[in-house]
Structure 1
Amino acid sequence: MTAEIGISFERRGVLGIVTLDRPRALNAVDHPMVRAMDATLRAWIDDPAITHVLLRSAHARAFCVGGDVRAMAELGRTGRKEEARQYWRDEYALDLLIACYPKPFVSLVDGLCFGGGFGLTGHGRYRVAGENLGFAMPEVAIGLFPDVGGTHVLPRLPGWSGTWLAMTGARIGMSDAVALGLYTHHIPTDCWPGLVDALAGGEDMQAALTRVAVRPPAPDLAAVYPHIDRIFAGGSVEAIVIALEKVGEGEDQVAAFARLQLETIRRASPTSVHIAFQQMQRGLRFDLAGCLTLEFRLVTRLLDQPDFFEGVRALLVDKDQSPGWQPARLEDVDPAAVAALFDTPLDDELLLA
């Protein structure tokens, strides 16, 4: 048990249980949590008494609101950049381990699940959404980008929904998240204790999930998905902005939706919005390991630029909600310079087995 560092591990029958338990930080994943989870999951691979693994939160409000970006910004700001980079090396390796885990692996996700919380769950074999799920990849708002494998998953979502989620950081609920394929099952949270008991008793994981899963309600955003596809299919950030402006001129629900998306994009880091757009253009070319390697190049280079530090300051530390982005406008970002962030190898690339 290691609950003192925000995570605990339990054996219950044949089930290995990982529980995130850092309530004051809404389970934001810091470096000791990453290392402990990686070590335990690797040990369980070789343990014949553990036949399947379950990941959950100890608290209803949040599954996990992401990685501990405040700590990473402080490391970078105080000249300890290599420590921040090591966090991302280890986090991305853990995400890939979960994706490739050789034993049945399920995440029970309810409440807020952002960023790094998605990294821990979004690549696993089984992904269960509770009724109060709130999913987002909101990194563009703090001068980062949808990492932890977002480059791989988001462009593979239906239509252009992944590009919309990446560029805006929009939050969606359970019904939309399941409809888009981000989660494999919807199981009401009051059924979770019985599910855990069944898995601990040795019931096959796929059979148990199928037995208790229920059909989610219709997606809340079903009416706007065709419009998202038309708007976010644009071949550049500029084209998407123009489409949002045009659609937003109307008076109906779709126009209001378009205006909100444009307002959200314009509040975010212009550089990050351009990075997110290029991620969605490039992601289909690479497997998950390749996407994580690209993302490590990006986080390394953003530690040499001001927006990440300014975004964390404005939204998470001072909370004045007034970041001073550099450059300040989408129109001032050079897409070729953004492409170079992806295309220029590092001297110490992330190597994932």
Structure 2
Amino acid sequence: MNNDKSIEGSRVKSRHSFFARLPRGTWPLLVLLIFCNWTQESVAMNREETIIRTGMKSKAGRSIDWDVSPDGAKILFNTGHIADGLLLLDVQKQQVSKIPSESGRFWEMAAWSHDGGQIVAISTVVRDNRYQVGEQEVILIDPSTWKHRTLTVSKGVNIFPFFSADGRTIYYFKGEERDSGATPASRFDLYAYDLATDKETRLTYEQIYQVGRGHDDGKTIMFSAYGIRRMPSINPNSRRQQEQRGIYIFDKTSLHLRHFEIDQRNGFFELSFGDRDVARNIYFRAAKLPPGGGRFVWFIYRCNPQGKDCTMLSETQIGTDVRVAQMTGEILISVAQSDEIVFRRLDQVR
């Protein structure tokens, strides 16, 4: 015991000796350097140009599901309240209207095609005011009439549909319902639906625990996921590697799925994919530990197509997503405030 105390005492003495040898007035400089290191990328956090109000409240504990049109003029979103249904926000007027849907069904997870001419969404059965997990259809919607077509996909928990870059294929994730556990469904894989032939094709065989919305740039599909045990996303702050969220990329030619490496030398982790712009820059949400420890702080980042040169765009909160209006380059993020859902427009893609 005395020996241990002696060793610890020598360590403390060593640390104190180091600081004692610092020139007078160095402490304020050290504090300033630490602060600058934490905020060096945050110049971009003053770029917010517009707050877009909706007047709608989100359901407690539920993330906002949304997508922006390619021209940046409209936003499709859900609040999480079944009675609200699928909503359309006119960005300029800041007016919200409810999209007419089928009786006994809830339209959600809507996504625009790259040219803005079509919308794909999930139509979920609602019974006794409750979602029926596993009774979800993929539907194609004409935004000029709001008429829809139901795609003949196989049964399963179908979620997060999105268009191919050329608009000819619908991609989505299909999972299995769970009888117990923290989530109602898991074991997801990526599927493709050819709109010309009505043929469904399974693309991956990973049985992923959880997935997020994807994006196709014509050559690759990118999405966030966790629970891919054969290629865990490393979180330096957790030992449970297989459960850490990361960004993955699927090559449409080789049909190969791999973990997409992003330069994390500035200390962020828990990456959640948001979108890509026409130059294939990647937008995502990630967490950082503040100086001195404490609760995670969440930010929106952008990096180049190789996963390098990451820039912090905005401080945000967990559950926030980022989207890019493909035609205009506008960057938007969602914020579920306690009293209202709002969207914030950042600078355009440069």
Q: Which has the higher helix share?
A: 1
Higher relative contact order (CA 8 A, sep 6+): 1
Higher-Rg member (1/2):
2
Q: Which has the higher strand share?
A: 2
Calculate the TM-score normalised by the size of structure 2: 0.26
Calculate the TM-score normalised by the size of structure 1: 0.25
